[in-house]
Amino acid sequence: MSALAPGATIGILGGGQLARMLALAGAGLGLRSHIFSPYADDPAFEVCAQKTLAEFTDEEALARFASHVDVITYEFENVPAATAAFLDARKPVRPNSKALALTQDRFVEKRFLQELEIETAEFADVADAGALARAIAKIGRPSILKTRRFGYDGKGQLLIRDGADLATSFRSLGGAPCILECVVPFNKEVSVVAARGLDGAFRAYDICENFHEHHILSRTTAPADIRPETASHAIALARRIAEAADYVGVIAVEMFVVESNASERLLVNEIAPRVHNSGHWTLDGAVTSQFEQHMRAVAGWPLGSPRSHGRVTMDNIIGEEVYNWSRILSEDGASLHLYGKREVRPGRKMGHVTRVEPRTPR
């Protein structure tokens, strides 16, 4: 299938802030968006004329949705496999179902990286409490037990310390299939936000350096404070991943940087098959935002320039921090983004603020 024409409709699964910013970016390019979400209050519904409020298992709604759109994308990796397959039989789903399958399951993801000879934290499959004991014997403590599926922002994770009871630990994550990972003594966390086009073109933004609080991304700075050769290597790893998955769209690859002797080692931690929180700075700090870049890619269009406008800091606005909106608006040079969420909850991402330090201050 060739490139869509302006005026075409992109179907987006999910209606959160990522879908909202994708739809806004698409509108700037003359693309329509059709949001599919089960949650009536979702903020993306506010910015689109076309919408479907239905469960992801509602095949009638999915079929109708597919008939109204030209291509389908998503804002989160936990789209049910059956939903993706049902839709893919009707309209192109981008990124493809392989990317979804890879990133929905931490074990499958790690094995995929292993096959690509990309270094990760040491890991082991943990199907039950007995497997956990064998995994601990291999990997040691402290280590991190994570559910294979549906984890985000530190949810579905547990640090296994010396003396922790393994059966209790396993049960505390609901008895779901898990993966055990060794704790990486990393010096920095970075991410590569990049895009691959339908034509195979690959373009990466400045490497993002990420700072978490309570397992939630708190701050991203770009470019990351790493060696130029480490940055090039990080981009090469992201490209290898994207090419192996025959990927189309924006991809984010989270990595640990481990300083050893005079070099920096990179271990891939996680792949997100979508626009990513650590790329939000591109809205204000790059020629083409990650949201526009994703819409270009899924439309089969040429990728835009990822060139940045300078050194950038992006801070997430979490929970009640949103009540600082007025102070942020008053700060010269700060760019405020709010997601239009009606309810403030602890830990909820309500918006973000970007500050760009131009290369040549005036």
* Residues that bind a copy of itself in the complex, under the rule CB under 8 A: 3, 6-7, 20, 23-24, 27-32, 45-49, 283-284, 287-288, 296, 301-302, 304-305, 307, 309, 322, 325-326, 329-330, 332-333, 335-340, 342, 351, 356, 358-360, 362
Residue closer to a copy of itself, measured from CB, 33 or 191: 33
Residue closer to a copy of itself, measured from CB, 19 or 241: 19
Block residue for tokens 């739809």: 23
What are the CA-CA distances from residue 83 to residues 17, 74, 79, 174, 361 (Å)? 21, 11, 7, 24, 50
* Cβ-Cβ contacts under 8 Å for 229 (sequence gap 6 or more): none
Residue closer to a copy of itself, measured from CB, 185 or 361: 361
- Give the shortest CB-355-to-a copy of itself separation in angstroms: 10
- Give the shortest CB-49-to-a copy of itself separation in angstroms: 5
Q: Which helix (H) or strand (E) holds 32?
A: strand 32-37
Amino acid at 300: G
Q: What is the DSSP letter of 93?
A: B
166 φ/ψ angles, rounded to the nearest 5 degrees: -70, -40
Residue closer to a copy of itself, measured from CB, 39 or 150: 39
Half-sphere exposure of 130 (CA within 13 A, CB side): 0
Block residue for tokens 């000879």: 117
Block residue for tokens 């302006």: 6
- Give the shortest CB-337-to-a copy of itself separation in angstroms: 6
- Give the shortest CB-260-to-a copy of itself separation in angstroms: 30
- Give the shortest CB-67-to-a copy of itself separation in angstroms: 19
Residue closer to a copy of itself, measured from CB, 261 or 330: 330
Q: Using CB atoms within 10 A of its CB, is residue 327 exposed (0-12), middle (13-18) or buried (19+)? A: exposed
